Amino acid sequence: MGLAYLAPIGMQNLFVINSALNDSRRRAFFTAIIVAFFDITLSASCFYGIGSLMEKYDFIKLGILLIGSIVLIKIGLGLVKSKAGEIKKASERMPIRRTISSACFVTWCNPQAIIDGTMMLGAFHVTLLSNQALPFMSGIISASFLWFLGLIFLISLFSCRINAGVLTVINRICGVVIIIYGLNLVKSFFYLL
């Protein structure tokens, strides 16, 4: 269940892939651990209660949908418009504070992750017995670490073969996916409105 929750292309995965392409393997693994930490905190919040706030107060859900859709569409357009000459492996590594704040942002300010997590994990919480909650969340936590660390390992193995042209194609595909997510959120916003 945890892997199904994490596997779709999203902002966290793009952040981890970017780290695998631009940073040393050791630094990329550290970034993956940071992202996994924020993912686990979001998963726990979704499982144990953020969904009840969104169910109780429609304005919170509407705000998350509207702001999130604007942010996602802007990020997606930036990726689609990127040119091969602008994309190159970073010569300087991102400072650790910026890595932490960016990992927090792509996790906690990602409406798709919040809504998906709330709907999926919150729904599972309702169906589980009290003694099943801890094993379920242990699986989610394990999946988070396995996914992000595995993603770093896989991408870093092939990073030497990825040039600016390949990065441009990856960015454009990811940009289109993110724009589709954003437009889907706009659709959901107007449907709820």
- For 48, residues 6+ apart whose C-beta sits below 8 A from its C-beta are 125
Give the pLDDT score at 52.
66
Q: What is the pLDDT of residue 31?
A: 93
pLDDT of residue 109: 82
pLDDT reported for residue 51: 61
The pLDDT of residue 177 is 78
Instruction: Determine contact, residues 157/20, Cβ cutoff 8 Å.
Output: no
pTM metric for this prediction: 0.70
pLDDT given for residue 9 in this prediction? 56
Would you give the end-to-end CA distance of the chain in angstroms?
31
Spans of all domains in the chain: 2-192
* 169-193 pLDDT, tens digit each: 877 887 787 788 778 878 888 988 8
What is the model's pLDDT at position 49? 77
Nearest residue to 29 via CA among 37, 39, 21, 19: 19
Residue 146's pLDDT is: 92
Identify whether the C-beta of residue 52 lies closer than 8 Å to the C-beta of residue 179.
Answer: no
**Cα dist from 88 to 46, 102, 140, 176, whole Å:** 36, 19, 34, 20
Which residues of the chain carry a pLDDT beneath 50? Answer: 87-88, 90-91
According to the model, what pLDDT value does residue 111 have? 75
Cα 127 from Cα 83, distance rounded (Å): 48
The candidate with the shortest Cα–Cα distance to 19, out of 10, 29, 28, 9, is: 28
Token duo for residue 144:
């988070």
**pLDDT value of residue 24:** 85
Neighbours of 145 (CB within 10 A): 16
- pLDDT score, position 171: 74
70: phi then psi, degrees, rounded to nearest 5: -65, -45
How does pLDDT run across 53-73, given as a tens digit for each residue? 766 778 877 887 787 778 778
Task: Give residue 81's pLDDT.
Answer: 84
| pLDDT at 148 (0 to 100) | 93
